[in-house]
Amino acid sequence: MGKKDRLSGNEAIAYAMKQINPDVMGAFPITPSTEIPQYFASYVANGEVDTEFVAVESEHSAMSTCYAAQAAGGRAVTATSSAGMALMWEMLYVTASARLPVTMALVNRALTGPININNDHSDSMGARDSGWIQIYSETNQEAYDNYIQAMPIGENKEVRLPVMVCQDGFITSHAVENIELIDDEDVKSFVGEYNPENYLLKKENTLAVGPYDISNYYMEHKKQQAEAMKNAKSVILSTAKKFEELTGRKYALFEEYEMEDAEAALVIIGSSAGTAREAARRLRQEGKKVGLIKIRVFRPFPMHELAAAMSGVKAVAVMDKAESFSACGGPLFAEVRSALYDLKNKPHVINYVYGLGGRDICVEHFEMIYGQLFEIAETGNPGEVYRHIGQREQEGGK
């Protein structure tokens, strides 16, 4: 039986790491993820884990440490945020291309500039094409559960890709919530031992990790990465099924709320889903057919499943907590709109960029958006599809 506790999202991740007892942690502190290595370092100091904690001089070095440990045959973890992950940028690609399943706790924070320590998804969305699996969490419970599921996913022989488990900085990372923890032995059994087929310290099969790749081979290796990301989808679902059998908590690629007969729907990621869900609940009480899809897995992107879930919807608003500066919408919008392209009866799709740098969004904002979706469905005119919400309007056009 699990035990109930009250933990912040950062504490929950650190506790999951303790239960897993990885071989190596390479970490450098950055707000708002600093508490994760801080808590974990206390477990190391107290002898509660056998992990080699490497206090490095930068985030680039943190990921380099994890890369080397994983290549040597160990299980490696790290935690970071924002500019810290940006400093890892080169090593994100190197780690994914070397097919090393490092597990990262990413506490989402706005990327500078101007400097801002609050939440949005610009860090992880900027790394969306780096080759990492990306799993997002709405609550502290989900952050804990997602982290425990991450290792069996990334380490699966059909996948062998690094995984970042994302949660919203300060919103879940520092807020304390009720949480149900799994027994230590159950976590160890669920995650299992890391037994890589090949690694640097395996004398029977010498190999190089990260060698120069000439044009005769490079594209084949990229195709192998792409196939591994495709394979990850079924592994994510099978891992979630085993997790449900263990805990009773159900996970999928995304979560649907009142989508059976929805005519207007939102697509969203992260902690704001709870606020949007409350708006949908209120409107349902008024008899309005609204629904919500909360994306849990952004990489691999659930294109076909998402299209099926929205095949009966008339109008959709995609909520982006990150800018892509494409001049035509945010990153989630681009993916969702593409997913809906092949539908016979495509819904109208609009995009809202919101919450940048920690800007708040409330239930009334979402109610207004649903109202606009019904108007679009009735008139057939979406108007400007690339929109922002929640910002101060400038007076006098200045």
Q: What is the pLDDT of residues 15-41, one digit of tens each?
A: 999 999 999 999 999 999 999 999 999
Judgement on whether residues 50 and 170 belong to the same structural domain of the protein? yes
Judgement on whether residues 236 and 297 belong to the same structural domain of the protein? no
Return the CATH number at 285. 3.40.50.920
Tell me the pLDDT tens digit for each residue of 153-192: 999 999 999 999 999 999 999 999 999 999 999 999 999 9
Range with the lowest mean pLDDT among 89-93, 162-166, 201-205, 332-336? 201-205
C-alpha distance from residue 270 to each of 65, 225, 254 (Å)? 29, 26, 11
What is the three-class DSSP state of 44? helix
Q: Which two tokens stand for residue 370?
A: 């649903």
Judgement on whether residues 220 and 288 belong to the same structural domain of the protein? no
Judgement on whether residues 333 and 359 belong to the same structural domain of the protein? yes
pLDDT at 394 over 50: no
**What's residue 2's pLDDT?**
82
pLDDT at 396 over 90: no
Judgement on whether residues 232 and 378 belong to the same structural domain of the protein? no
pLDDT at 233 over 50: yes
Amino acid at 75: R
Judgement on whether residues 23 and 127 belong to the same structural domain of the protein? yes
- The predicted model gives 267-283 an average pLDDT of 98
User: What 8-state DSSP symbol labels residue 28?
Assistant: -
Tell me the pLDDT tens digit for each residue of 357-377: 999 999 999 999 999 999 999
Q: What percent of the chain is predicted at pLDDT more than 70? A: 98
Judgement on whether residues 14 and 129 belong to the same structural domain of the protein? yes
- 22 exposed, middle or buried (CB, 10 Å; 0-12, 13-18, 19+)? buried
User: What 8-state DSSP symbol labels residue 202?
Assistant: -
Judgement on whether residues 259 and 231 belong to the same structural domain of the protein? no
The CB density around residue 8, as the number of other CB atoms within 10 Å, is 20
What CA–CA distance (Å, rounded) separates 373 from 87?
A: 40
Amino acid at 324: S
pLDDT at 11 over 50: yes
Judgement on whether residues 130 and 228 belong to the same structural domain of the protein? yes
- The predicted model gives 376-383 an average pLDDT of 97
Tell me the pLDDT tens digit for each residue of 51-72: 999 999 999 999 999 999 999 9
393 pLDDT tier (thresholds 50, 70, 90): confident
**What's residue 385's pLDDT?**
97
Amino acid at 59: E
208 or 92: which leads in pLDDT: 92
What CA–CA distance (Å, rounded) separates 204 from 212?
A: 23
Amino acid at 250: K
Judgement on whether residues 219 and 275 belong to the same structural domain of the protein? no
**Which of 218, 247, 276 is the endpoint of a domain?**
247
> Would you list the DSSP string of 326-390?
SSS--HHHHHHHHHTTT-SSPPEEEEEE--GGG----HHHHHHHHHHHHHHHHHS----SEEE-S
Global pTM exceeds 0.85: yes
User: What rounded mean pLDDT belongs to the chain?
Assistant: 96
The CB density around residue 118, as the number of other CB atoms within 10 Å, is 20
Angle between helices 272-285 and 363-379 (to 10 degrees): 60
**Which of 199, 230, 247 is the endpoint of a domain?**
247
For residue 61, how many C-alpha atoms fall within 13 Å in the half-sphere facing its CB?
A: 9
C-alpha distance from residue 111 to each of 114, 139, 297 (Å)? 8, 22, 22
Q: How many domains would you assign to the chain?
A: 2
User: Are 173 and 8 spatial neighbours (Cβ–Cβ below 8 Å)?
Assistant: yes
**Which of 185, 212, 247 is the endpoint of a domain?**
247
Return the CATH number at 105. 3.40.50.970
| Residues whose CB is less than 8 angstroms from the CB of residue 163 and which lie 6 or more positions away in sequence, other chains included | 101, 102, 103, 104, 132, 133, 134, 135, 150, 151, 153, 154
Judgement on whether residues 80 and 187 belong to the same structural domain of the protein? yes
206 pLDDT tier (thresholds 50, 70, 90): confident
Judgement on whether residues 279 and 162 belong to the same structural domain of the protein? no
Q: Which domain holds residue 307?
A: 254-397
The CB density around residue 356, as the number of other CB atoms within 10 Å, is 20
